Amino acid sequence: MAGSGGARLENLDALRGFALFGLFMVHMPELFELYWLAPVTDPFQLAVHDAVWLVFAGKAFALMALCFGTSFFILMQAGERRGRDFSLRFAWRLLLLAAMGLLHGLWYRGDILEVLAVMGLFLLPFHRVRSNRVLLALAAVLLLQPLMLVQIAAGLAGAEWANRAPAYWSDAINPLYASGSLWDTVRINVVEGHAQKWAFMHGSGRLSQILGLSLAGMVLGRIGFFARPQAFARLRMAGLLLALAAAAVLYFAREPLAALVPASDAMFMPRALAGSLLGSLFDLAVMAVLLFGFLVLYHGPAQPVLRLLAPAGRMTLSLYVGQSLLFVPVFYGYGLGLHASMTQLQAVLWGLAAFAAQLAFAHLWFRHFLYGPLEWLWRAGTWTTLRVPFRRVQGAPA
C-alpha cells in the first residue's frame, strides 16, 4: 500500500503483519475449529486457551478489518492521483478476492477473505462522503450493533421473534472433519460450513463490526494517521490510555451490566444479546489497546524489532492461505489427525515456530520478488494483465 509520497507505509505493513500473527495464534489453539469438538478441561491447558482468547480472539480479526479500510482509502486515492475513478476496478478486485475466499473456504470453512470482500463493497459509496465526522459517527453506530439493540428492545417488549435463539447457536462442528476424508471436508464446507460461517458473522454482529472498523480505517488513512506518524504521537498515547481504561472497565463490568437486563424462561434473549454486545465492545477496546500500543512501541524504542513484521504484512494474503493449507491437514482426519492429541500449549508453541518460519520466508522472498505470490496474482487479475512486474530488478530500491 502506498503512502502519500508513493512509498509503502512500513508501519501499516507491520501492523497488518501483527494482525495476521494474532489471527494465526487464535487458529492454532482452536485447532482450525476442531477444538470445539472437545474443549479442554485441564486447568492449565484451559488457562493457555483463555489467555490467547483474551488477547487475540475477536481482536486480531477486528484489527485486520481496520487495516482493510485504510488500504481501501490508499487504493482509491492512488486512482484519483492518476485521474481515474478506481471504484469499478476496486469492485472487480473484491470479486477476485471473494473468488479466492470461496476456493479457500472449500479447504477451511473459517475463511475470512470472502467476508472482507463482500463487506468491502459497502465501502464504495462512503468514499464519496467527504466529512470525516459523518463517517466516524456512522462507524460508531455500526460498532454499537444497531440491529442487536433493536432486538434487545423488541425482546424486552415481548416480541416473539426477538426471543428466538439465533441459528448459529445450534450449529455444531461436524465430527466428520475429525474422521473423514478430504472429500468429506470439502463436501461439508460446501453443504453446511459456508452457511454456518455466514450465520455466525451475521448473528454475532461481526458484519456490522467489520463495516464500522473499515470506515474508521478509511478515516485514519484520510487524516494521514500512518503516513504522518510524527503528527499523531499524542493521539496514539491518549488512545492507548483511553483504550486501556475502557478494556479494564468492560472486563469487570460486562457481566454485572448484562445481569441488569430482565430475563425469564420466555424472555432470555435480551440479556444474552446484552452480554454479547458488551463482549463485542470489550473486544473493540482490547483491539484499540493492540492498535495504539503497537504503534506507540513501533514509533518508539521497539521499532527495530517490530518493523521485522512488515514483510509479513506485505504478503498477508499468501501467508494467511498458507497457514491453513499447512495446518488443516495436521489437525483434520484426512491428514495427521493431531486434534485429538495436541495440547493447547503445544499448539501455541507450534504456532509461534510456524509464524517465525513464515516471517523468515517473507524476508527472503522480498529479496527477489516485488509481491507475494497470491498478491501478484490478485494484482494481475485486478488489472487483467500478466505484465505486472514480479521479480525484483537487481539493484532497484526495495
377 is a domain residue = no
- What is the tens place of the pLDDT at every residue in 309-366? 999 999 999 999 999 999 999 999 999 999 999 999 999 999 999 999 999 999 999 9
For residue 41, pLDDT beyond 60: yes
375 is a domain residue = no
pLDDT band at 7 (very low <50, low <70, confident <90, very high): low
Q: Which three cell numbers stand for residue 275?
A: 452480554
**Model pLDDT, residue 392:** 87
- What is the tens place of the pLDDT at every residue in 51-70? 999 999 999 999 999 999 99
CA distance 190 to 188: 5
For residue 5, pLDDT beyond 90: no
For residue 6, pLDDT beyond 70: no
- What is the tens place of the pLDDT at every residue in 208-222? 999 999 999 999 999
Number of structural domains, the chain?
1
Cβ-in-10-Å burial (0-12, 13-18, 19+) of 190 comes to middle
Query: 236, 292 in Cβ contact below 8 A?
Result: yes
223 is a domain residue = yes
Query: 16, 291 in Cβ contact below 8 A?
Result: no
**Model pLDDT, residue 323:** 98
Following DSSP, what letter does each residue of 21-57 receive, concatenated? Answer: HHHHHHHTTTGGGGGGGS----HHHHHHHHHHHHHHT
Please give the DSSP secondary-structure letter assigned to residue 111.
Answer: -
Residue 8, beta-bridge partner list: 2
Structural domain range at position 54: 10-25+44-304
179 is a domain residue = yes
16 is a domain residue = yes
Cell 425482546: give the residue: 155
Query: 189, 109 in Cβ contact below 8 A?
Result: yes
- What is the tens place of the pLDDT at every residue in 104-140? 999 999 999 999 999 999 999 999 999 999 999 999 9
Q: Which long-range contacts (CB under 8 A, 24 or more apart) does 49-52 make?
A: 49/344, 52/25, 52/26, 52/344, 52/348
- What is the tens place of the pLDDT at every residue in 143-192? 999 999 999 999 999 999 999 998 888 888 999 999 999 999 999 999 99
309 is a domain residue = no
- What is the tens place of the pLDDT at every residue in 265-288? 889 999 999 999 999 999 999 999
Position 237, amino acid: M
Please give the DSSP secondary-structure letter assigned to residue 189.
Answer: I
357 is a domain residue = no
CA-CA-CA-CA torsion sign (51, 315, 239, 77)? negative
Average pLDDT, the chain: 94
362 is a domain residue = no
For residue 85, pLDDT beyond 90: no
Task: Give the whole-number percent of the chain exceeding pLDDT 90.
Answer: 91
Distinct helix (H) and strand (E) counts, the chain: 18, 0
